[in-house]
A and B are shown apart, each in its own frame.
Chain A
Amino acid sequence: MSLRLENLTILRDGAPMVVLDRTVAPGEVLSVMGPSGCGKSTLLACLAGALPPVFQARGRVWLDGREITDLPSHARRLGMLFQDDILFPHLSVAGNLGFGLARGVGDRTGAIEDALREAGLEGMGARDPATLSGGQRARVALMRTLLSAPRGLLLDEAFSKLDTDLRAQMRGFVFGRARAHGLPVIMVTHDIEDARAAGGPVVDVMGRAL
C-alpha cells in the first residue's frame, strides 16, 4: 500500500499554492508543515475529495496503484482525523464505531468490542460520546477510522487540541496503528514535535524538505 501524489498542484486564482510530487510508503508518515493559511488543510481537503470550488487541482493521486484523483470522497478509502474528534453526537460510542465498520463484516459486535479493547475503552460501547474524556474521544475517532479499513490516513492537526502528556501518548497510538496496518499517512501540522515524533520526511507545501 502506498499513496502517490503525482505532480499534485493546487491553484488559487491561477497561482500555485501547493505543489507536491511524492510517494508515501506503507507505514510512513509524510509531515507537511507551514504557518496557518499556507494551504495545508486545502491539501488534505483535496486529497479527501472535498476541494472548495475556489481552488483548482492539477496532477494525479494514486492509492495502492489505483487512481483516485476524480473519485468521490466516499470511494477513496482515505481515513481522516481532525483536531476535533468529530464523533457523531447522536450516536453512542459503539454506534460511532459501527458507522465506520465496513459493510459485510460478519461479527459486527465482536469487531466493535475488539476495537474498544484495543483502545483501552472496554465496556464503554453504550456510552454517550459527550461523556468521555478528550483522550478517550480521540481514540474512539481513530478506531472508527481504522474499522472502515482505510488504505491511507490523513491527519489535519490531529493532536493540536490535546494537552502535552496526552499528545505524546496519542501520537504513539496513531503512528503505531498506522505502522501495524501498513497505512501511508499524510499529516499536516504546525508543531515540529508532531513531525519529529512521526519520524518520516518533513516538507512544506511546495515540497521543499525542512
Chain B
Amino acid sequence: MARAGLWAALGLLALPVLAGLAGVIAPAFGYLPALGGTELSLDPWRGLLSWGGLAAAMRLSLTTGVLSTALSLALTFLIVAAWQGTRSFAWVTRALAPMLALPHAAAAFGLAFLIAPSGWIARALSPWATGWERPPDLLIVNDPWGLALVAGLVVKEVPFLLLMTLAALPQADSLRSQMIARGLGYGRVMGWMKVVAPRVYAQIRLPVYAVLAYSMSVVDVALILGPTRPPTLAVQILEWTNHPDLQMRFQAAAGACLQLVLVVGALALWRLAERLVARRGAGWAAGGARGAGADRVLRPLGAGVALATGLAVGLGLAGLLVWSFAGLWRFPALWPDAWGLRNWAGQSDMLARRIWQSAVIALGASVIALALSVAALQAQGARPARIMGLIYLPLIVPQIAFLPGLASFALILGLDGTLLAVMAVHLVFVLPYVYLVLADPWRAWDARAGLVAASLGARPLRVLWAVRLPMLLRALCVAFAVGFATSIAQYLPTLLIGAGRVGTVTTEAVALASSANRRLIGVWAVVQMALPMAVFAACLALPALIWRNRQGMRIG
C-alpha cells in the first residue's frame, strides 16, 4: 500500500507537468483542434517574433531572475557565515516560519506600499528632508529595469534559502569546521565561505535552481512590482493567454515554449558558472588569505541585511494593515487623518466567499499532500529513493510554461472552473513542499521506538498510527501549515484552472494590482497574509496544547 503511495505521489507530480508541457508545445506549432488549429505551422512563432517588446521582455526575465537569485544566495550565505552559532542567529531562525508562510504577493504589495513615491518611506522623509509636498513623479515601483521586482523577490527568497541552508548545516558539520578554520586564524565569514559554503551549496543546489526558475518566470510578483512596457516575458504570456482573441493562445503557447527554453538555458549557464566558481574557489581557499579583518565589515553588513529584510516585510505588512483601515490620508502625513471599517464592510460578502473557497482548496490539497507524503516516506524505508528527486519537477519547470497546457486539457474535459480541479492543480505545488518539510524529521525519528513497538506485538500499521505519527505530530502540523500557505499563495494555477469561476484571496488581491485603490489592496492583501499566518499559529499551538503534559515531546 505504501509503495502505491510513492508511485501515486510521483505520478501526481510528473504527469501534470508533462501533460501540461505537451499541451503547450502542440499549440505553439499550430495544433489545437478546439480552437481550429489542425495543421502544423510556424505562424505562432512568427507572431511572437514580430512583437516589438520580445528582446526587452526576454532580457528582463533573465536579468531579474539571475540577479535576484544570485543576490538572495549571497545574502543568505553572508547572514549564516557571519552569525551562525550566536544568540541573534537563533532569533533569526525563529522568525523564519512566519516569513515563509507569507504569500509572495502579500510581501510584494507590502514592499510596494513602502517604497512607492507616496509610500511610508517617502512620507517619513517629507517634507523636511525631501521638500516634497506631494508624491514625486518617480517610477520606483514598476521601474523599467525591474529593480523593485528584484527587491520583492529577494525579501522572500532569502528566508527560503536560509531555511534550506539551516537544514543542510548539520550534514556539513558546519560548527566544528568553522571552529577549526578560526583556530587556523581565519575570520568568521572567510572561514565559513572557504570551508562550509562548498558543502552546503552542494546540498541546497536543487532549491537554488527552483529559486532561479521561479524568479525568471514569476507572474504575480511581476504584476505588482515589475516593469510594464514591456513587462517580463511571463507576464506578457499571461496577457496573451487571457486575450479576448482566442487566436492569441497560439502565440502565448509559443511564448511559453520560449520561456521554458530561456529557463533551461539560464539553468545551464548557472551550472557552468558553478563549475567556474568551484575551480576558482578551490584555488582561493588554498591560497590561505585569512580575511580576519573582513569580519568587522561583513558581520554588521550581514546583520544589516537580515534586519532590512525583516523590516521590509514587517513594515510593508503594517502599511497594508494601516491602508485597509484608512479613510482620508493626505500625502506627507505619516498616519491617516481618519480611520474606519468602511473598506472592510464594503467587501464583506466577497471576502467571505473567497476566504471560504481559499480555505477549502488549501485544506483539501494539504491533507491529501500530507497523506501522500507519509505513504511515500513509509515506502522508502531508511534510505531515500533517488527517484524522489523528481519531487522538484513542478518547482523547476516554470508554471507559465505548462499551466496553460493543463488549462486547455481541463477545458476540453470540462473540468475547468471547478473547485476540485483547482484543488488538484494546487496539489501539484503543495505536495513537493509538504514532502520536503516532512522528510527530515521523518527520517530523524528514532527507529528503535518502532522496533520496541513491534516487539510488543504491534503490527506495522499500528506502529505507524499509535507511535510514529503521534511522535511526529509537530512535524506533521508544520508540514500541513506549509502546504496550506503554499496553496493560499498560488496565483497562476487558480487563475488559469479556476477560469474566473473559482477564485481565492490571492487571485482577488493580485487582480487589484493595476488599480490605484490602495485601501482595497490593503484589505485583500491583509486577508491573504492573515489566513496562512493564522493556520501556522494554530498548527504550532496544537501539538504544544495536546502534549502540554509530555516533556519528552517538547523540542530540544
Residues of A at the B interface (CB closer than 8 Å) are: 45, 48-50, 52, 72-80, 82, 84, 86-90, 99-100, 102, 128-131, 144-145, 148, 150, 154
Contact = CB atoms under 8 A, between A and B. Distances in A.
B448 A128 contact: no
A128 B552 contact: yes
B550 A128 contact: yes
B296 to A, nearest CB: 45
Q: Output the residue of B446, B449, B452, B460 with the most chain A CB within 10 A.
A: B452
B454 A90 contact: no
A78 B456 CA distance: 8
Given A88-B471, A89-B471, A74 B454 contact: yes
A48 B455 CA distance: 7
B551 A102 contact: no
Top 7 A-B residue pairs of the complex, sorted by shortest distance between their CB atoms: A89-B552, A73-B454, A130-B551, A130-B552, A80-B455, A148-B456, A90-B470
B456 A100 contact: yes
B551 A77 contact: no
Nearest to A90: B470
A70 B341 CA distance: 70
B448 A82 contact: yes
Nearest to A45: B451
Contacts of A77: 457
Interface of B: 382, 446, 448-449, 451-460, 463, 466-467, 470-471, 473, 547, 549-553
A100 B552 CA distance: 19
Given A88-B467, A89-B471, A99 B458 contact: yes
B509 to A, nearest CB: 40
Contacts of B451: 45, 48, 50, 73, 80
Contacts of B547: 90
Q: Output the residue of A49, A52, A130 with the most chain B CB within 10 A.
A: A130
Given A89-B550, A128-B549, A130-B550, A99 B455 contact: no
A78 B552 CA distance: 26
B555 to A, nearest CB: 12
A58 B2 CA distance: 28
Contact of B460 (A74, A76, A86): A74
A71 to B, nearest CB: 11
A76 B467 CA distance: 19
11 contacts: A72-B454, A72-B460, A73-B454, A75-B457, A79-B456, A82-B452, A84-B448, A86-B449, A86-B452, A90-B552, A128-B550
A131 B553 CA distance: 12
Contacts of B382: 52
A87 to B, nearest CB: 8
Contacts of B459: 72, 74
Q: Output the residue of A80, A87, A102 with the most chain B CB within 10 A.
A: A80
B453 A99 contact: yes
Given A82-B448, A99-B466, A89 B553 contact: yes
Nearest to B458: A74
B457 A102 contact: yes
Contacts of A79: 455-456
A84 B452 CA distance: 11
A78 B553 contact: no
Given A72-B460, A88-B453, A144-B456, 17 more contacts: A45-B451, A50-B454, A72-B454, A74-B455, A74-B460, A80-B455, A82-B452, A84-B448, A86-B448, A88-B449, A88-B470, A89-B551, A89-B552, A90-B471, A90-B550, A90-B553, A99-B458
B444 to A, nearest CB: 14
A48 B452 CA distance: 9
B39 to A, nearest CB: 56
Contacts of A99: 453, 456, 458, 466
B362 to A, nearest CB: 27
Given A90-B547, A99-B466, A73 B455 contact: yes
A128 B456 contact: no
A131 B551 CA distance: 8
Contacts of A84: 448
A51 B120 CA distance: 64
Contacts of A82: 448, 452
Contacts of A74: 454-460, 463
B552 to A, nearest CB: 3
B178 to A, nearest CB: 30
Nearest to B551: A130
Nearest to A149: B457
A39 to B, nearest CB: 17
Contacts of A129: 552
A82 B553 CA distance: 20
A150 B457 CA distance: 9
Q: Output the residue of A74, A77, A87, A129 with the most chain B CB within 10 A.
A: A74
